[in-house]
């Protein structure tokens, strides 16, 4: 199935005339009803998109950030040139949600709640068993059931669909987005937007070339509390910041070890589920719909699962709009032996030249660090800043006294709808370029880890001896293992290769052919991510 499929360009575009008449009649009905624009206008834009007037209204810290010229560069506003129809400012958007076994149900609820501007018209999943819960959720809200597609390629032939909202496993994210863009759809794309560095860049290039709107599902960027918190850091309210730290301290139990191969669950089109990943007949895990996160062919470990949120906020807070100059990772999978392949304990060090970022993953039980388990810490010359969730953050002075606190949330889906209607990528709080850069940082840490060598614990790696914060992170890494009864004298960890990055080409420097091979993957015929837009 799908072996000879080359992408949306192969689709036939015949359209049912009765359905077209029904759609047009519905459109004119909607045109006569005043839309509730105030709610959409009230959705808060990201720091980089606020006007100076809005900066002044939000807070004095955000105003200072704008005056200091701390706003990151934004993509140009691209007129729509895609083959699909362009939604107008008053159109009710017809949304198809792809992948509804986990995060996708939040997409269903998020778009269904925007009744004045959206209708969830279709559900798509390689597992036909998950449709019923999505159907009930939509029908309960709207009184009308969405249609179901098991084959994503057939969904993309439906010219009535305006928006594709993707919440599949990671290995499908980029190809799913590119196919949707080629079919003339706008895209809401879950994080990470890619499974590897190169395919994420291709999503950006396809979106730009075809003039489609593509939002990343890093919802922190739409929350006013987080916008103001990051704005205060940019404004110098904790002094000069040279270091950021991202934390993903989230306990992850063993996924177990299968004694023998098992078949895919009934009702699953496994060939479609695999998509770009290598072909295989069996399922290499017990929990079909979740444990793929910890297997390299499909997921990116916790640094690319929960951690991508903190990676994105860390890069945002440090004001970095390109990849780092170098990366090195240390870690391993400790405490159990199972079918998982990604590290459950990991520390990544990113060097941007003038600033640095440290990212920590801990899958075994662990206490918080400076009040945070899932969040970010920024270290300044006059204090530090801590965020422990998606929508708030606190500034402290050097004595640990609270200086300011920010809190507040907004609707990330509504922000996406605003941009779809305006046709301006600059209206997005989490444009696909932001998603690509943050996702790529997660992948860079993974490449370093996979190319590393196993070393005995107990000695600080020489690559880290010149960075005080790195020494501290590695020491706490070992303390964490001891606290979880991991004997250091009998344990080896993976010392990743230190990799230098060409920031313009997003590749590793000459002489790193084996590393560059990890920036993409071998794709199955019929599921190939294009190498140019």
Give per-residue pLDDT as tens, 462-484.
Answer: 777 777 888 889 899 999 999 99
Residues 223, 316: Cα–Cα separation, whole Å: 14
Q: Are residues 206 and 244 in the same domain?
A: no
Decide the pairing of beta strands 383-387 and 374-380: antiparallel
Q: Are residues 315 and 373 in the same domain?
A: yes
The pTM is what? 0.84
User: pLDDT-based confidence at 351, cuts 50/70/90?
Assistant: very high
Helix 307-317 vs helix 224-234: angle between axes, to the nearest 10 degrees?
40
Q: Are residues 316 and 268 in the same domain?
A: yes
Q: Are 126 and 273 in contact (CB under 8 A)?
A: yes
Residues 377, 370: Cα–Cα separation, whole Å: 8
For residue 17, being part of any structural domain is answered with: yes
Q: Are residues 129 and 71 in the same domain?
A: yes
User: pLDDT-based confidence at 84, cuts 50/70/90?
Assistant: low
Q: What secondary structure letter does DSSP report for 22?
A: H
Q: What is the structure's pLDDT at 6?
A: 41
For residue 230, being part of any structural domain is answered with: no
> How long a stretch of residues is the chain?
533
Mean pLDDT of 29-49: 35
Task: State which of 192, 221, 250 marks the end of a domain.
Answer: 221
State the average pLDDT for the chain: 86
Q: Are residues 462 and 509 in the same domain?
A: yes
Q: What is the pLDDT of residues 355-402, one digit of tens each?
A: 999 999 999 999 999 999 999 999 999 999 999 999 999 999 999 999
- For the chain, how many structural domains are there in total? 2
Q: Where do the DSSP E strands lie in 70-195?
A: 93-98, 118-124, 147-149, 163-166, 186-189
Half-sphere CA count of 155, side-chain side, radius 13 A: 31
Q: Are residues 98 and 181 in the same domain?
A: yes
Q: What is the structure's pLDDT at 125?
A: 98
Q: Are 215 and 187 in contact (CB under 8 A)?
A: yes
Q: Are 21 and 98 in contact (CB under 8 A)?
A: no
Residue 39 in this model has a pLDDT that exceeds 50: no
Beta bridge partners of 239: 237
Residue-wise over 4-33: b if at least 16 C-beta within 10 A, else e? ebebbeebeeeeeeeeeeebeeeeeeeeee
Residue-wise over 466-477: b if at least 16 C-beta within 10 A, else e? ebebbeebbebb
What is the CATH number for 513?
3.30.360.10
Q: Are residues 208 and 310 in the same domain?
A: no
Q: Are residues 244 and 174 in the same domain?
A: no
Q: Are residues 206 and 320 in the same domain?
A: no
CA distances from 207 to 188, 398, 475, 489, 506 (A): 12, 44, 43, 51, 18
What is the CATH number for 122?
3.40.50.720
Q: Are 153 and 2 in contact (CB under 8 A)?
A: yes
Beta bridge partners of 348: 329, 359
For residue 525, being part of any structural domain is answered with: no
Residues 231, 492: Cα–Cα separation, whole Å: 42
Residue 422 in this model has a pLDDT that exceeds 50: yes
Q: Are residues 192 and 315 in the same domain?
A: no
Q: Are 162 and 168 in contact (CB under 8 A)?
A: no
For residue 124, being part of any structural domain is answered with: yes
- Kind and range of the H or E element at 141? helix 131-142
Q: What is the structure's pLDDT at 395?
A: 98
Task: State which of 221, 256, 277 marks the end of a domain.
Answer: 221
For residue 420, being part of any structural domain is answered with: no
Half-sphere CA count of 526, side-chain side, radius 13 A: 14
Q: What is the structure's pLDDT at 2?
A: 34
For residue 304, being part of any structural domain is answered with: yes
As given in the structure block, the two tokens for residue 169 are 């496993």
Q: Are residues 188 and 258 in the same domain?
A: no
Decide the pairing of beta strands 93-98 and 118-124: parallel
Q: Are residues 337 and 199 in the same domain?
A: no
Structural domain of residue 511, as residue ranges? 238-411+433-519
For residue 63, being part of any structural domain is answered with: yes
As given in the structure block, the two tokens for residue 22 are 């029904």
Q: What is the pLDDT of residues 251-306, one digit of tens each?
A: 999 999 999 999 999 999 999 999 999 999 999 999 999 999 999 999 999 999 99
Task: State which of 188, 221, 254 marks the end of a domain.
Answer: 221
- Kind and range of the H or E element at 380? strand 374-380
For residue 421, being part of any structural domain is answered with: no
Residue 198 in this model has a pLDDT that exceeds 80: yes
């Amino acid at each position: 199935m799908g072996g000879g499929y080359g992408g949306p360009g192969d689709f036939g575009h015949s359209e049912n005339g009765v359905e077209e008449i029904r759609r047009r009649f519905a459109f004119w009905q909607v045109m006569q009803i005043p839309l509730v624009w105030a709610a959409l206008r009230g959705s808060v834009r990201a720091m980089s998109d606020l006007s100076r007037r809005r900066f002044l209204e939000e807070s004095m810290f955000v105003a200072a950030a704008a005056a200091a010229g701390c706003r990151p560069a934004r993509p140009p506003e691209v007129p729509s040139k895609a083959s699909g129809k362009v939604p107008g400012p008053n159109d009710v958007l017809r949304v198809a949600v792809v992948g509804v076994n986990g995060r996708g149900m939040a997409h269903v609820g998020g778009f269904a709640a925007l009744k004045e501007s959206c209708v969830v018209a279709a559900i798509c999943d390689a597992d036909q068993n998950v449709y019923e819960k999505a159907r009930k959720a939509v029908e309960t809200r709207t009184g009308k059931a969405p249609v179901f597609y098991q084959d994503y390629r057939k969904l993309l032939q439906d010219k009535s669909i305006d928006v594709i909202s993707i919440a599949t496993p990671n290995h499908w994210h980029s190809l799913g987005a590119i196919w949707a863009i080629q079919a003339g759809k706008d895209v809401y794309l879950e994080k990470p937007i890619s499974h590897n560095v190169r395919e994420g860049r291709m999503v950006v290039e396809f979106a730009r070339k075809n003039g489609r709107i593509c939002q990343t599902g890093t919802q922190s960027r739409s929350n006013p509390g987080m916008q103001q918190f990051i704005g205060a850091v940019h404004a110098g309210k904790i002094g000069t910041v040279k270091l950021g730290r991202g934390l993903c301290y989230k306990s992850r139990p063993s996924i177990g070890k299968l004694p023998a191969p098992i078949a895919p669950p009934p009702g699953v089109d496994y060939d479609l589920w695999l998509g770009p990943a290598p072909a295989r007949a069996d399922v290499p895990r017990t929990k079909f719909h979740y444990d793929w996160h910890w297997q390299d062919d499909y997921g990116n470990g916790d640094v690319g699962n929960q951690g991508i949120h903190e990676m994105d906020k860390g890069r945002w807070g440090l004001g970095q709009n390109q990849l780092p100059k170098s990366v090195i990772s240390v870690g391993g999978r400790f405490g159990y032996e199972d079918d998982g392949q990604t590290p459950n304990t990991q520390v990544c060090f990113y060097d941007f030249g003038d600033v640095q970022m440290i990212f920590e993953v801990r899958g075994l039980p662990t206490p918080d660090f400076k009040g945070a388990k899932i969040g970010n810490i920024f270290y300044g010359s006059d204090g530090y800043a801590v965020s422990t969730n998606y929508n708030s953050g606190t500034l402290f002075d050097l004595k640990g006294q609270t200086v300011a606190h920010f809190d507040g949330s907004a609707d990330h889906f509504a922000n996406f709808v605003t941009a779809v209607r305006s046709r301006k990528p600059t209206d997005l709080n989490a444009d696909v370029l932001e998603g690509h850069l943050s996702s790529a940082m997660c992948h860079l840490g993974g490449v370093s880890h996979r190319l590393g060598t196993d070393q005995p614990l107990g000695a600080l790696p020489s690559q880290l001896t010149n960075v005080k914060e790195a020494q501290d992170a590695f020491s706490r890494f070992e303390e964490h293992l001891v606290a979880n009864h991991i004997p250091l004298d009998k344990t080896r960890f993976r010392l990743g290769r230190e990799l230098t990055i060409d920031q313009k080409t997003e590749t590793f420097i000459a002489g790193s052919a084996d590393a560059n091979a990890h920036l993409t993957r071998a794709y199955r015929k019929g599921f190939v991510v294009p190498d140019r837009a």
